[in-house]
Structure 1
Amino acid sequence: MQNVAQPYRSVLYIPGSKPRALEKAQSLPVDAIIFDLEDAVSPDEKATARALLAETLRATDYGPRKRIVRVNGGDTEWGAADLETFIDVAPDAILLPKVEDTAVIADLAARLKGETTIWAMMETPRGILNAAALAAAPKMEGFVMGTNDLAKDLGSRGRRAMLTSLQLSLLAARAEGLICVDGVYNAFKDEDGLRMECEEGRDMGFDGKTLIHPAQVAVANAVFGPSEEELDLARRQIAAYEQAKADGQGVAVVDGKIVENLHVETATRLLAKADAIKLLEGA
C-alpha cells in the first residue's frame, strides 16, 4: 500500500552524469529524486555516468528524499550493466523505462536486495493498455507518467489527448495501492502553465509532478501540498463526525455538507500527509 509517510509532491529528474547537479540535489526541497541514466545522459557518457552515480549514492546522504534510479532499458547495450550495478547499490527504487509486460518486472524483483522497490515508466501505448497487470507485479511501488514519449508514440498534441492514458494508469495504480506521479511540464520558465497543469494533475488524483528543473519545485510543492483551508476543513470534519457518533448519529454536517465515514478517512489521510511534509521539511 501507498506509504503516507513519504510525500511525492515534487519528483525531480537529475542527470546521473553531472557531478554539480548530484551535489546540488542534496539541498533541494524535493520529495524525491530520479537519478537519470537514460534520456538525460548521452550514449558516450553512459558508462561514466553509471560509475559516478553508483559512487555518489554509496557516499552521499540525500536525507529523507526518495532515491530513485532510472536505468536504461534492457534492450539497450547499457541496461544489463545498469541493473547489475544498482541492484548492488540498492537505492530506494529502480525505475524501469518503457515497461510493457510483467516479465521484466518479475525478473528484477527476484534479484533485488534489501528494501529496494520497482517503479515503472508508463510511456508507451502497450504499457498503458497493460497498466493493471504491471501495477499488480511483484515489488511494484510506483508509476511515473512519461508523457513526452507517450505523445510521440500516439502522434498526439496537447494534454487533452493523453487524458485516457493518464486515467488508466492512475486507476491501475490506485487499485494496487501504488504511488502515481504525473508527467513533466517542458516549459520550465512558464510558472503559470506549470501551476495550471499541476492543479489539473492534483485534481485527477496524482500524488505529485515529475520536474525537469529546480525552478519548478516550489510550484509543485505548493499545489500538491494541502492548503491551510483544506487542513482546517479536515479537522472540523473529523471533530464533527466524532461528535455525531457520540450523539448516536451516523453522519455529521459541516458547512452545509454531509460528512460520512468516507469523508473522515480522506480528512485523516490529508492530515497525515501534512504531518509527513512537516517532518520532511524539518529534516
Structure 2
Amino acid sequence: MGVLSGKVVLVTGGGNGIGRDCALIAAAEGAKVIVNDLGGGLGGGDEGSAGPAEKVCEEIRAAGGEAVSNSDSVTNYKAVQGMVEQARDTFGGLHAVINPAGILRDVMFHKMTEDDWDRVIDVHLRGSFNVARATIELFREQNDGSYMFFTSTSGLLGNIGQANYGAAKMGIAGLSRILAMEGARNNVRSNCLAPVAWTRMTQSVPVKDEAAAARRAVMAEKIRADQPARLSVALVSPAAAHISGQVFGASGENIILYSQPRPIDTQTKESGWTVETILSEAMPAMESKFFPLSRPAPAPAPAKA
C-alpha cells in the first residue's frame, strides 16, 4: 500500500528524465499510471514515437504495477482530452496530473525566431493549459484532483539565452497559483516545482570550459531525476491534501520552498507624482531594495544536527 493506492495519475513527458521517474515512482506508490510521451526530440521538431512511453509502461508492469502508454502531444487539446478518456476507460477515473513535458530552444533573444518562441510556449504554457482545462471539470465534480506543474529557475530567477523558456515557466507558476485559489472549495490542488536534475535537457546546455564539464560530472552523480520526481509524487498524494498554491524546488536532496512576489515597498506623494519627482524621489527611495541582474546564490542547506 503506497501513498497513491487507488489513484489514477497522468504523467506527461513520462518517457524520459523526471517524467519517467515520476511515472515509475507513482506506480511504486500504488497508482495506476497513464504514461504520456510524444517520443520526439528535445527541440520538439522531430516526429514522435510511441517507444519511450511504452518502455516505461513495460517496466511498471514488470514490477507488478498497472500502466498504459500514450504518445500524443500535450499541445493538442483534443489529444489531451483523449488522455483523460483513456484514463477513465482503462482505469475508471483520474485523480492527479504530473506535467513535466517540455522542450528547449535556447538562443539569445536578439537571435530568437518566432518559431523558437512559439514552439516553447506551445509545449510548456499551452500544454499546461491543455492538461488543466481537460481535467478541471472532472476534478471539481469529484471533489478530488491534484496538479503538479513544472516551473523553472529560468523564469523565477532568470537565465540568459532562455527568454522563451523562462517566460513560459513564469506563466505556469501564475496558472498554478490561480488554479489553486479557484479550486480550493472543491478540493482541487495545484503546486509547481522548479527542478534541478541531470536530464537530457540539462545535458543540452553547451559546455564552454573544463570547469563547466567538471561541474556537470558532479551533477550527473548528485542531482538525479528521481529526486524531484519523489517530491512530485508526494505532493499529488492525499497525504499532502493541505498543500496547494506553493512553488517548490528540488536540487539533489534539497527541497526548496520559493517566495512568491509580494509588495516590498510603497512610496506615496499626496500632491501627486510627476515624471521629475518619480526620478528624483521615488526611485532613489526604492533603489536599495532593487534586485540585481545576477542570479542569487543557492540557499545553504541547514546544518546537520
TM-score range, shorter chain: 0.3 to 0.5
Between Structure 1 and Structure 2, the one with more helix by share is 1
User: RCO (CA 8 Å, sep 6+): is it higher in 1 or 2?
Assistant: 1
TM-score, length basis structure 2 = 0.35
